[in-house]
Amino acid sequence: MSALIPRSDEELYRLMKKGNQDAFAQLYARRVPALRRYALHTSGSPAIAEEVAHEVFLQLMSPNSRYDEAKGSLESFLYGIARNLVRVVRRQGPVEEAVDRAFEHDILGELISNEATAALHQTLRELPERYRDVVVLCDLEERSYEDVARLIGRPVGTVRSRLHRARALLSAKLKRLNAPVEVYSR
Amino acid sequence: MTCAERIGELVECARGRGSLGRELSAHLPGCAACAERFQAERELSQQLRTIQARGVALMAEDTRREVLMRDFADLHRRRPARPWVFAFGGATALFAAILVGNVAGRHAARHAPVPALRVKAPRTTQVVTYEASTDASELSSDDFTAVPYTPPLAPGELVRVVHADLYPEALASMGIDINPAWGDEIPTEVVVGEDGIPRAVRIIGPQGGTQSDDF
Ligand SMILES: [Zn+2]
């Protein structure tokens, strides 16, 4: 029966460090999809998201990886790396262009022609990081407040209040975006 | 309960986390502010679901996985070699990939004595082809000295020659007799197997006599 119990991230990490490729592949399958989406929503660019997720795992498998189990979960560590990488990319500047191009040319562009949605996504990316992260993790990734609190190392109440504040900011933006449409439709 | 106090519940309901309680349901029809906020939150949730679906679709195809898995396999195949090489000052080390040719079949190789290495190409080139021999005595024929007590190289195994300046102690640990007159750093070439274990070493400085005295 014990073989059927899923291994924790930390167990997989320990095996991975000994060169176990299956453990590395499992860890990758478990954590990369969400990391890629997190990087997409915070950077706005699929290409940058790919780079970020790739780099997170390169750093993880590096012999110099700084993960310390005593300081928190591996998932939290991975998000920490991703967050820092996105910060670096955003500081470099041209992300906004990449974002716009991504919205114009992404594979779902035809399906989602709603300008309000595109503008909302841009507003989301422009939110301060503490608000942006909770919207991405709580609403886009549908993680519980408890999960997100562990991931970002803040109390549950803080996560909840940040999310509500962020949503108020986004709602206000959405209201402004929708207003001209209503005028024209009358 | 004030309208401000109701907003938390409103937002959670709009997010799909629970349904409106009786008190809030009764309040909404008579309060334009709360009704408007609830509608705005529901619209926001709808838009976020669109963004969410788009994100999932956009990132569905992972083109990096195979590359990373290969990198991981490579890292752990070579890994023992890296600390060893860097321990001797990686900045000056040059790597040359050399191929140990098949002499015996792979099946026999695992149990063969330490194969010797014979240089086929001139050693002035960076990439040198070596040919394995099952005659261990040939290991020293090109000034290489076999490192004792090391596992045999498999025919077809990719080995590297590392150019490194070694401390006398490092050479001594590989079974090389040290001349007390030699300096602190001795230029050498070390044959390293895929497992990172040095198999043979040759001194290429003035001590070894294979280079000019102004080396
Ligand atoms: Zn009210």
**What are the tens digits of pLDDT across the range B160-191?**
777 777 777 777 767 777 777 777 778 888 77
- Tally of domains within chain A: 2
The pLDDT-based confidence of B196 (bands split at 50, 70, 90) is: low
Which residue shows structure tokens 């040919």? B131
Q: Identify whether A71 is part of a domain.
A: yes
Q: Identify whether A40 is part of a domain.
A: yes
Return per-residue pLDDT of chain A as tens, 186 residues.
333 567 899 999 999 999 999 999 999 999 999 999 999 999 888 888 999 999 999 999 988 888 999 989 999 999 999 999 998 888 776 544 444 444 444 433 334 457 778 888 889 999 999 999 999 999 999 999 999 999 999 999 999 999 999 999 999 988 887 775 544 444
Supply the pLDDT for residue B78.
56
CA distance A37 to B112: 52
Q: A86 near A98, Cβ under 8 Å?
A: no
Closest chain B CA to residue A18: B76
- Does residue A131 share a domain with residue A93? no
CA distance B14 to B37: 10
Number of residues written out for chain A: 186
Q: B32-58 vs A156-185: helix axis angle to the nearest 10?
A: 100
- Two structure tokens written together for B159: 């080995």
Other CB atoms closer than 10 Å to residue A27's CB: what's the count?
25
- Does residue A78 share a domain with residue A12? yes
- Does residue A5 share a domain with residue A81? yes
- Give the best-scoring range by mean pLDDT among A117-121, B23-27, B112-116: B23-27
CA of B148 to the centre of ligand 1 (A): 85
Q: What is the pLDDT of residues A134-155, one digit of tens each?
A: 999 999 999 999 999 999 999 9
pLDDT at B74 over 70: yes
DSSP letter at A70 equals: G
- Does residue A34 share a domain with residue A1? yes
Domain that holds residue A126: 114-186
Supply the pLDDT for residue A90.
83
- Does residue A77 share a domain with residue A125? no
Supply the pLDDT for residue B181.
75
Supply the pLDDT for residue B168.
75
Residues of chain B with pLDDT > 70, as a percent, come to 57
For residues B55-75, average pLDDT: 91
CA distance B109 to B151: 11
Size of interface A-B (CB pairs under 8 A): 99
Residue of B9, B36, B51, B85 to mutate, interface with A, max A Cβ within 10 Å: B51
Supply the pLDDT for residue A153.
93
Burial class (CB in 10 A: 0-12, 13-18, 19+), B14: buried
Output B140 or B32, whichever has higher pLDDT: B32
The CATH code of the domain that includes A121 is: 1.10.10.10
Q: Identify whether A109 is part of a domain.
A: no
The ipTM estimated for the assembled molecules is: 0.85
Residue A164 to residue B43, Cβ atoms within 8 A: no
Q: A132 near B6, Cβ under 8 Å?
A: no
The pLDDT-based confidence of B109 (bands split at 50, 70, 90) is: very low
pLDDT at B151 over 80: no
The pLDDT-based confidence of B159 (bands split at 50, 70, 90) is: low
Q: Identify whether A106 is part of a domain.
A: no
Pairing of strands B94-101, B158-166: antiparallel
Q: Identify whether A107 is part of a domain.
A: no
Q: B114 near B153, Cβ under 8 Å?
A: yes
Give me the half-sphere count of Cα atoms (radius 13 Å) on the Cβ side of residue B64. 22
- Does residue A2 share a domain with residue A83? yes
Segment among A102-106, B4-8, B11-15, B100-104 with least mean pLDDT:
B100-104
Q: A48, A70, A101 — which closes off a domain?
A: A101
CA distance A45 to A37: 10
pLDDT at B213 over 80: no
B90 to chain A, any CB pair closer than 8 A? The answer is no
Supply the pLDDT for residue B195.
66
Q: Does the reported pTM lie above 0.80?
A: no
CA distance A23 to A11: 9
Closest chain A CA to residue B49: A140
The CATH code of the domain that includes A85 is: 1.10.1740.10
Q: A101, A123, A146 — which closes off a domain?
A: A101
- Give the helix, strand, coil percentages of chain B, each rounded to 5: 40, 20, 40
- Give the best-scoring range by mean pLDDT among A1-15, A110-124, B18-32, B114-128: B18-32
B43 to chain A, any CB pair closer than 8 A? The answer is yes
C-alpha torsion B16→B21→B27→B31, nearest 10: -10
B17 to chain A, any CB pair closer than 8 A? The answer is no
Contacting residues of B for A54, CB less than 8 Å apart: 64, 67-68
Residue of A167, A178, A182 to mutate, interface with B, max B Cβ within 10 Å: A167
- Does residue A129 share a domain with residue A67? no
**Domain ranges within chain B, ordered by starting residue:** 3-58, 119-214
